[in-house]
Amino acid sequence: QKRVTRSVLAVPLFSGNAVIGAISVQSYKAGEYDEEDEALLEMLTAYAGNAIENARLFDQTRRHAEELGVLASVSSALRVSITRDEIIPVILDHLINLLNADNAALSTLDPATGENVIEQARGEWAKAVGLRLKAGEGLIGLMAETYMPYESSAVTQEKNLGFLDSTSRPAA
């Protein structure tokens, strides 16, 4: 025999004045909840909303502190780095750690040819160092043309964009 929910009690979950969700309970018994249950759930939901907001603020503060720590570390490392070849790896390594990335690359525009050149890279992208991309080619070319950042959670599904060039894609 299939059990059917007969009683429901739901209360909005607030963070300040904004509703961020809800907490609900269900019962297979009819008439299970009354005003006292509602008051109790409202009190618990208020506590939960405050706890969730405090956790969010703590995470935000922790992340900000980590970012400041990385910036201080990069700044310190850059002060002792003299050449471009010493500076770029420091930047890429810190970006990988800060953003929990698997790969990072830095490309620069070759003014003589108009091509974007992968100057240095980390992770799987390290094999692309020296790759020259024509103007408008791949993701790097797109950003060079539009002057806009690019973010995607489904880059392998984007048409005309490779991970570094217009023909290569990471293994699925």
Write out pLDDT tens, residues 2-56: 887 778 888 888 888 888 777 887 888 888 888 898 899 889 988 888 888 888 8
Q: How is residue 26 written in tokens?
A: 């269900």
Mind listing the pLDDT tens digit for each residue in 61-96?
A: 998 998 888 788 777 777 776 777 778 888 888 788
Which residue matches tokens 């970006």? 95
Q: Is residue 110 over pLDDT 90?
A: no
Q: Is residue 165 over pLDDT 50?
A: no
